[in-house]
């Protein structure tokens, strides 16, 4: 795709969806990481609803590390995959305390050693917590990048590499939530509503 088309798409995405994400309120780095972990396979609404009770019951890393997994499960029951997430939360918070002195590490290679933290969660965390540029490729970013014509790779890691070449660095952190908004409302997995799409003029797969 020509560079000027990409510039136009990025300009319109900034106009439509803004340049910073509206998010949860997080008091500490580990709370942000936990919130991102909980959001996998769950809606923002589900996560928003459990967070106040979760922070009240578990106000610090030590309280999570020392908890019974069943107590954590009780607090997060309404989010998807809650049993796995509860076990990972306990392990991850224990690791942060014991291996990283109570602070979530600032580089991806270390963050992904934490329980329940893959490349996607780690990249998103580093971007949101520390502003470290990174492209997070989830299902929406993967699908729409192919439709737009930005990427051809068949794995999230390949698409991540392609997007880092195509997009200016200042857009890396925000492309994720912008394409999530577009992917939930207009360019959905089931149907691309190209007639309503703000970037249709420049998209290679528009219908």
The site for ligand SF4 (CB under 6 A) is made up of 144, 147-148, 186-187, 192-194, 197, 199-200, 203, 205-206
48 included as an active-site residue: no
Task: Characterise 18 by phi-psi region: left (phi > 0), alpha (psi -120 to 50), beta (else).
Answer: left
Give the nearer residue to ligand SF4 in terms of CB position, either 1 or 108: 1
Q: How far is the CB of 10 from ligand SF4 (least distance, A)?
A: 13
The alpha carbons of the chain give a radius of gyration, in whole angstroms, of 18
Nearest partner of 165 among 144, 148, 150, 143, judged by Cα: 150
Q: How far is the CB of 44 from ligand SF4 (least distance, A)?
A: 21
Q: How far apart are CA 73 and CA 34, in angstroms?
A: 13
C-alpha distances (whole Å) from 104 to each of 114, 127, 129 are 9, 13, 10
Give the nearer residue to ligand SF4 in terms of CB position, either 83 or 205: 205
120 included as an active-site residue: yes
What DSSP string describes 53-82?
HHHHH--SHHHHHHS-HHHHHHHHTTSTTH
Give the nearer residue to ligand SF4 in terms of CB position, either 92 or 148: 148
Q: How far is the CB of 170 from ligand SF4 (least distance, A)?
A: 21
CA–centroid distance for 150 within its chain: 19
Give the nearer residue to ligand SF4 in terms of CB position, either 34 or 203: 203
Q: How far is the CB of 195 from ligand SF4 (least distance, A)?
A: 8
**Catalytic, out of 29, 85, 90, 120:** 120
C-alpha distances (whole Å) from 116 to each of 34, 83, 159 are 9, 12, 22
**Catalytic, out of 138, 158, 191, 205:** 138
Q: Which residues are catalytic?
A: 120, 138
């Amino acid at each position: 795709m020509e560079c000027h088309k990409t510039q136009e798409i990025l300009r319109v995405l900034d106009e439509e969806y803004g340049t910073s994400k509206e998010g949860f309120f997080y008091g500490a780095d580990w709370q942000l990481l936990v919130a991102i972990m909980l959001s996998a396979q769950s809606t923002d609404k589900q996560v928003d609803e459990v967070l106040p009770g979760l922070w009240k019951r578990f106000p610090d890393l030590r309280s999570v590390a020392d908890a019974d997994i069943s107590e954590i499960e009780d607090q997060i029951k309404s989010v998807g995959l809650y049993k796995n997430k509860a076990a990972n939360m306990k392990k991850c918070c224990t690791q942060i305390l014991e291996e990283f002195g109570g602070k979530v590490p600032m580089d991806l290679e270390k963050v992904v050693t934490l329980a329940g933290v893959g490349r996607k969660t780690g990249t998103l965390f580093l971007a949101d917590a520390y502003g470290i540029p990174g492209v997070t490729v989830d299902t929406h970013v993967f699908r729409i990048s192919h439709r737009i014509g930005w990427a051809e790779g068949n794995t999230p890691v390949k698409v991540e590499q392609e997007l880092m070449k195509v997009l200016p660095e200042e857009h890396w952190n925000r492309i994720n939530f912008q394409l999530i908004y577009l992917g939930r409302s207009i360019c959905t997995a089931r149907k691309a509503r190209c007639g309503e799409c703000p970037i249709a003029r420049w998209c290679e797969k528009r219908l």
